[in-house]
Amino acid sequence: MSKKQKTFRPKARVPKGLQDERATDVVQQRQMLDAIRHVFDLYGFEALQTSALEYADALGKFLPDADRPNEGVFSFQDDDDQWLSLRYDLTAPLARFVAQNYDALPKPFRRYQEGPVWRNEKPGPGRFRQFTQFDADTVGAAGMTADAEMCSLMSDIMENLGIAREDYEVRVNNRKILDGVLETIGLDLSDEAGQGQRLTVLRAIDKLDRLGIEGVTLLLGKGRKDESGDFTKGAELSEDQIAGVVAFLEVKGTSRSAICDALAPVVGDSQTGLEGVAELREIDELLTAVGYGDDRVVFDPGIVRGLEYYTGPVWEIELTFETTNEEGQQVRFGSVGSGGRYDGLVERFKGVKVPATGCSIGVSRLFAALRALGRLDDTEGYGPVVVLVMDRDDIKSYQAMVQELRAAGIRSEMYLGESGMRAQVKYADKRRAPLVVIQGEDERAAGEVTLKDMVLGTEMSKTIDDNKEWREEQPAQISVSRSDLVSGVQSILGRYNLGSGK
RNA sequence: GCCGCCUUAGCUCAGUUGGUUAGAGCGCUAGAUUGUGGAUCUAGAGGUCCCCUGUUCAAUUCAGGGAGGCGGUACCA
């Protein structure tokens, strides 16, 4: 074994669970965010950006401890030894912001915010350590009108993105009903053991989608062993108690009001439970009054969402269609957004109860879904017009062309590399340039420029397989007088709805 | 965290019953084409065969340990 002296070369790779995005994705995603923002804006929410870093104690329960400072969140210590964390959602920073600026803010305070958040956990398919959320929240409004508005808001966003009414559903439940059911089956929520049991039950219910009623039943009782042989401990409920929860989960109805009717007996005389049902009834009435029927917003006892802070209504936007992925498997996108009422979050800072409700859109997953639906505009992926450099001694004339094109608002560039013509056309192809401007000796002598339509050329190449023919025909090229450069380019761009590049 | 599978070229993967020059397809670069992206043909570049230790005359191949990836599961604000 001979040891060669080698210079250190870092391996170029993106950190695990993170990703780079190329132009097409960036532009298409921006377009999608604009469509979402439009609806938030229309509803009257105001824009807010908060810092990506927060003091760890402001983020709440995920305080870094000495052994594992990065469990769940990414954290580090500042110069003054205080712990800083990258935000893991946009709600906790909102609570901090509201508490900090409470007196100056209009109340209710309604804001939307979009941006990356980070979670330090194992990445999986469709799960990353950095992802984008787009949230809207109303802080300081206790009534169900704010909650009902969240439901119609989410529905409007889906439809503004071009998702058909039968392809999505806003599903609503109420935490108070869940607690009412637990109370009715005799779970004691006053001590710590009872609270632990409550969380286990909620977690079990949350898995209804994936495991079905049988799986959930196991998790409510002794526990469940999965295919990999791992055992999950259950909530240790009695047979009767399990039956009570199952009865609740099996509540169905043909309309929101019918579901409310069916839910009432399940919560018995639990005060909390009855309150929850009454809240759902109110949401139903408010939504019905403005025309949001059961085809858009439904009530679903299986919805649980986050365990810690929701205190009332909770909801989820579910995509209900299926597609096939690259591997040919059936895929459901499932939940692309969620939210609910959290009346306790600001209280952590202020000591006073500040009611709040909101929703959060999972941008990456929604983006993947829109791609699967073919709802993304792929003309957005086109590159600039490329002016080839045929004669290096005459760079100035090519600069002048680009200058004219840009002055006319056309996205364009002069080739800045060192290679020959063939490589330049290949470059333009790779950039997805819609067209190429060519002026060599011949054109200059004639006072013309050649415009090569790259999109049409690609199309024509499909029916030409002889290279001689391909080259001699010079497919999809026209010559125009040098003085008609701009109008000639505009007319070709017009074929692909690229307008003047605006 | 737990269970299982995997790791050879930029990508997808073959292969070496342990032996000297480790392969394919795709991609990339260039030529055929004196001024043209596709197709075709030709050539070229590109590898610590994941890492460490051990066994051996010899390890990409065998053994042990580690790391990374994938899938499931748990947690998930």
Q: What is the pLDDT of residue A9?
A: 63
Which nucleotide minimizes the distance between its C1' and the CA of A446? B35
How many Å does it take to go from CA A245 to C1' B6?
42
Which amino acid is it at A402? Answer: V
How many Å does it take to go from CA A10 to C1' B19?
34
How many Å does it take to go from CA A463 to C1' B41?
20
Which of A51, A46, A47 shows the shortest CA–CA distance to A92? A51
**What rounded mean pLDDT belongs to chain A?**
88
Which nucleotide minimizes the distance between its C1' and the CA of A233? B74
pLDDT at A500 over 70: no
Decide: A414 and A402 in contact? Cβ < 8 Å. Answer: yes
Strands (E), A325-364: 330-341, 356-362
Q: What is the pLDDT of residue A189?
A: 75
| pLDDT single digits (tens) A409-441 | 999 999 998 888 999 999 999 999 999 999 999
At the top level of CATH, the class of A386-495 is alpha beta
pLDDT at A101 over 80: yes
Reported as a pLDDT band with limits 50, 70 and 90, residue A2 is very low
How many Å does it take to go from CA A455 to C1' B72?
45
In this complex, the answer to whether residue A423 has its CB under 7 A from any atom of chain B, a nucleic strand, is yes
Which nucleotide minimizes the distance between its C1' and the CA of A73? B77
Q: Is A499 helix (H, G, I), strand (E, B) or coil?
A: coil
Mean pLDDT of A368-387: 83
Decide: A88 and A117 in contact? Cβ < 8 Å. Answer: yes
Instruction: Give the CA angle between residues A22, A414, A453 to the nearest 5°.
Output: 75
Contacts of A120 (CB under 8 A, 6+ apart): A70, A71, A72, A73, A74, A129
Which of A368, A361, A327, A326 shows the shortest CA–CA distance to A126? A368
| pLDDT single digits (tens) A5-25 | 345 666 777 888 888 888 888
Buried b (16+ CB within 10 A) or exposed e, A210-234: ebeeebbbbbbbeebeeeeeeeeeb
Mean pLDDT of A466-493: 89
Q: What is the pLDDT of residue A380?
A: 67
Which nucleotide minimizes the distance between its C1' and the CA of A89? B77
Which nucleotide minimizes the distance between its C1' and the CA of A309? B77
- Specify the higher pLDDT residue, A468 or A56: A56
- Specify the higher pLDDT residue, A125 or A387: A387
d(CA A362, CA A317): 10
In this complex, the answer to whether residue A196 has its CB under 7 A from any atom of chain B, a nucleic strand, is no
| pLDDT single digits (tens) A22-69 | 888 888 899 999 999 999 999 999 999 999 999 988 887 554 454 455
How many Å does it take to go from CA A65 to C1' B68?
27
Residue A124 burial by Cβ neighbours in a 10 Å radius (0-12, 13-18, 19+): exposed
In this complex, the answer to whether residue A207 has its CB under 7 A from any atom of chain B, a nucleic strand, is yes
Mean pLDDT of A89-102: 95
Q: List protein-proximal bases of chain B (any atom < 7 A from a CB).
A: 1-4, 29-33, 35-40, 48, 59, 68-77
Residue A162 burial by Cβ neighbours in a 10 Å radius (0-12, 13-18, 19+): middle
How many Å does it take to go from CA A370 to C1' B69?
28
Which nucleotide minimizes the distance between its C1' and the CA of A227? B72
Q: What is the pLDDT of residue A499?
A: 67
Domain boundaries, chain A: 23-373, 386-495
d(CA A492, CA A483): 16
Of A255-259, A314-318, A330-334, A449-453, the range with the lowest mean pLDDT is A330-334
Q: At what angle do helices A271-289 and A175-184 cross, to 10 degrees?
A: 150
**Strand B: which of residues 262-301 in chain A lie with Cβ below 7 A?**
none
Q: What is the pLDDT of residue A325?
A: 66
d(CA A267, CA A77): 48
d(CA A403, CA A387): 11
Reported as a pLDDT band with limits 50, 70 and 90, residue A295 is very high
In this complex, the answer to whether residue A26 has its CB under 7 A from any atom of chain B, a nucleic strand, is no
| pLDDT single digits (tens) A109-142 | 999 999 999 988 888 777 888 899 999 999 999 9
Contacts of A34 (CB under 8 A, 6+ apart): none
Reported as a pLDDT band with limits 50, 70 and 90, residue A220 is very high
At the top level of CATH, the class of A23-373 is alpha beta
- Specify the higher pLDDT residue, A309 or A249: A249
DSSP-derived secondary structure letter, A45: P
How many Å does it take to go from CA A11 to C1' B61?
26
Looking at the DSSP bridge assignments, the partners of residue A361 are A134, A337
Q: What is the pLDDT of residue A7?
A: 55
Lookup: tokens for A275:
């309150």
**Strand B: which of residues 352-381 in chain A lie with Cβ below 7 A?**
none
Of A59-73, A187-201, A281-295, A388-402, the range with the lowest mean pLDDT is A59-73
Looking at the DSSP bridge assignments, the partners of residue A118 are A130
Reported as a pLDDT band with limits 50, 70 and 90, residue A71 is low
- Specify the higher pLDDT residue, A90 or A193: A90
Decide: A447 and A366 in contact? Cβ < 8 Å. Answer: no
In this complex, the answer to whether residue A2 has its CB under 7 A from any atom of chain B, a nucleic strand, is no
Lookup: tokens for A187:
């779970």
Q: Which residue is nearest to nucleotide B39 (CA to C1')?
A: A465
In this complex, the answer to whether residue A9 has its CB under 7 A from any atom of chain B, a nucleic strand, is no
Q: What is the pLDDT of residue A233?
A: 87
Helix/strand/coil (H/E/C) assignment for every residue in A137-202: EEECCCCHHHHHHHHHHHHHHHHHCCCCHHHEEEEEEEHHHHHHHHHHCCCCCCCHHHHHHHHHHH
Lookup: tokens for A196:
């632990």
In this complex, the answer to whether residue A72 has its CB under 7 A from any atom of chain B, a nucleic strand, is yes
DSSP-derived secondary structure letter, A227: T
d(CA A117, CA A133): 7
Q: At what angle do helices A192-206 and A239-249 cross, to 10 degrees?
A: 40
How many Å does it take to go from CA A350 to C1' B41?
77
Decide: A161 and A336 in contact? Cβ < 8 Å. Answer: no
Reported as a pLDDT band with limits 50, 70 and 90, residue A173 is very high
Q: Which residue is nearest to nucleotide B69 (CA to C1')?
A: A16
Of all residues in chain A, the percent with pLDDT exceeding 70 is 92
Lookup: tokens for A388:
């080839």
The H-or-E segment that residue A480 falls in is: strand A477-481
